[in-house]
Structure 1
C-alpha cells in the first residue's frame, strides 16, 4: 500500500550529508562533520513555508469554484474546481514554488476531507433504511467493480484509472475517488479524468432518471433507492430525487450515506492488494528469498479511514451537535473542492489527450451496469 504520510522531500535532505553511507564508512571523514541541529527546524518550518503559496492558490480557486457551484448546483464546486485548476495550470504553468503546496492540497487535504465526511453518517439512522436496501447496494457495487476490471482491461485502460472510475461509479463519486486515490497512489491526471467522467454521467442521471422513474411507475421508496444506488455525488442524488418527490429525496439521501460506508471495505481490499503487489515485486527484484514479511495491521489501514469511521461512530453516539452537521458537511465539500482544484493544477492536458476517450466509454458502460443492476435487483426483491 502506498505510504500515506507526507513525502520526505522537504523534511529529510539536510540529513543526507551526515547520515549517508559514505560518511559512515570513510574512516578519513572528519569527526566534526556538518551540524545536524538545523536540519529538523529547516525540515519542519521549511516544509510549512514551502507549502503556503501552492496551498493558498488551491484554496483561492476552491473559493471561486464553490461560489460558481452554488449558482449551478448540478455541476457543483468540486467539478468546477478541477476545471478551473486545469485552466489555471494551462495559463500559468505552476513552477517549483507552487508545487509543494499543490501536492499537499491534492493529498493531505484530500485525506482530511474523507475524515470529515464521517460526520454526515449516523449508523443508527442507516440501519433504518431496512435490510432490503443492502442487497441492492452490495449487488450494484460488486457488479460495478467486476465490470470495471473486465471492461477496463479490454478497453486498454490502466489499472489505477479503471479502479478510480469503478469506485466512483459504484460507491459515491468524488468522495470515493478521494478515499481511493491515496490508497492506490493514483496520478493526478487519472484522478482528474475519473472525476470528470463521473460528473458527465451524474448530469445524465439528473436529466434521465426522473423520467425513467415515471415511465416505470416507481413508488417514492423504490425511486429513492434507485437514485441512492445509481447516482454518485450527493448533490446529484438530491437533484435527481427531489424532482421525483420529497419522500424519494429523503430516502435517497439515507441510501447514499449508507453507500459511503462501503468506502471502508473497498479501500481495505485495495490496500491489501497494493501491499501484496509491492511484496511480490520486491521478492522478484531481490534474491528470491522466501522469508515472509510481517504485515502490520496498523500500516494496512489508512489513517484517514480510521478517522472517518471514528467520526461516524462519534456522530452515532450523539456527541456531534445537530447544529454542527451542516457546517461539517459544507467543510467536507470545500476540502474536497480544494483538493480537486489542486489536482487540476497538477494536471497536464497533454496527458489527458494521450489517455483518449476510452475512460469516458468505460464510465458510460459502468453507469449502465449500475443502473440496470439496481433496477433488476429491486425487481427480483419485489420492490418494483
Structure 2
C-alpha cells in the first residue's frame, strides 16, 4: 500500500489504542501486526520499543500475583510442575534438533509449552535475543494449540470420566496459557478450576529459573559474560512488594492490567516487524515441533494421571 509515514503513524496510533480495549486479544494483536507487515505498513521507530515493552509488561504483571497463593501452590504442586517443566523443555530441545528447527524457535516453543504459553515466550525472548520472526512463529504455534486445548480438553475429560481433581491437574500441566487453563477448569467444575489455577500458578513461576538458566547458557555468545535478565529481578520485587504492601491492592490491580495490555501492544509490534523472508526460515517444521511436543506432554501427563502416578 502506498501510504506516507504520517498515514502509517496514524494507523499505528489507532491500533495501539485498540490494544487497551477488551476485544483485542493477544492472538488478534499478533495477527493484525502480521497483516500490517504483509501490507508493507511498517513503523521502524515504534518497532524499536518492542523489547522494552515486553520486559516492562512482565514486571507489571508481577503485581497481579499473590505470594501467599504462590507459597501454598508450591507446597502442593512443586514436584509435579518441576518434572513436567524440565521434561517438556528437554524433549522440546531434543525434537528441535531432530527436526532441524531453528534453535531459538525450539527454545521458545519448548518454554511456552512447558511454562505458560505466550507469557513465557515473551519473558524468554529478550534473554536469548530472539528475532521478531522467531518470536512470532513461536507465539502462533502456541496460540493455535492453546485454542484447541480449551475446546478439546473438557471433551476428552468427560469422555474418559476424569474426576474434577484429575482434570484440574491435567489441564494445569498440559495446557499452555493461564487463561485457557482457567477457562477449561471452569467449564469442568469448581474443584477442577481451583486445582488447575493453583498448580498453574506454580508452573508459571518457572519463568524465573528458566530465564536465568538460559541467560547462563547464552553466556558463550557474550564472550563468557553472564547477563542476568534484569526484568526478572524486577518481576520478583513486584511480587514481593504487592505482598508486603497490601493496602495498595487496587493500584496493583491497575498495574497488572497495564502489564497484560502492554503484552498485547508488544505482540502487535512483533507481528508488524516480521518479513516473508524471515517467515520462510521458520518453516512448517516449527508447527510440527509444537504439535508433537504438546501431544507428547498431554498424552504422558494423561497416562500418569490415569495410572495414579500423580497424586491428587
TM over 0.5: yes
Contact kept? 1:66, 1:81, Cα under 8 Å: no
Pick closer, same or farther for the CA change 1:87–1:128 going to 2, 3 Å: same
1:358 matched to 2:303: no
**Alpha-carbon separation, structure 1, partners of 2:267 and 2:74:** 34
Q: How does 1:25-104 map to 2 (within 5 A)?
A: 60-65=14-19, 67=21, 70-71=22-23, 77-94=25-42, 98-104=43-49
**Alpha-carbon separation, structure 2, partners of 1:313 and 1:252:** 23
1:341 matched to 2:289: no
Match of 1:211 among 139, 155, 175: 155
Q: Which has the larger radius of gyration?
A: 1
Q: What is the CA distance between 1:325 and its match in structure 2?
A: 4.7
1:129 matched to 2:56: no
What root-mean-square deviation, in Å, do the aligned CA atoms of Structure 1 and Structure 2 show? 2.4
Q: What is the CA distance between 1:372 and its match in structure 2?
A: 2.6
DSSP-derived class of the 2:162 partner: coil
**Alpha-carbon separation, structure 1, partners of 2:208 and 2:174:** 19
Structure 1: give runs of 5+ residues left out of the alignment.
1-51, 280-292
Q: What is the CA distance between 1:55 and its match in structure 2?
A: 8.7
- 1:187-224 deviations in whole A, cap 9, x for unaligned? 10010000000011101111111022223332323222
Match of 1:141 among 70, 85, 109: 85
1:202 matched to 2:146: yes
**Alpha-carbon separation, structure 2, partners of 1:59 and 1:111:** 21
Contact kept? 1:65, 1:84, Cα under 8 Å: no
Contact kept? 1:65, 1:337, Cα under 8 Å: yes
Q: What is the CA distance between 1:237 and its match in structure 2?
A: 1.6
Q: TM-score, normalised by structure 2?
A: 0.89
1:273 matched to 2:217: yes
Contact kept? 2:111, 2:117, Cα under 8 Å: yes
Contact kept? 1:180, 1:267, Cα under 8 Å: yes
Pick closer, same or farther for the CA change 1:59–1:326 going to 2, 3 Å: farther
1:381 matched to 2:310: yes
**Alpha-carbon separation, structure 2, partners of 1:234 and 1:82:** 18
**Alpha-carbon separation, structure 1, partners of 2:112 and 2:65:** 19
1:160 matched to 2:104: yes
Q: How many residues align?
A: 305
Structure 2: give runs of 5+ residues left out of the alignment.
1-5
Contact kept? 2:67, 2:240, Cα under 8 Å: yes
**Alpha-carbon separation, structure 2, partners of 1:58 and 1:370:** 39
Q: What is the CA distance between 1:319 and its match in structure 2?
A: 3.4
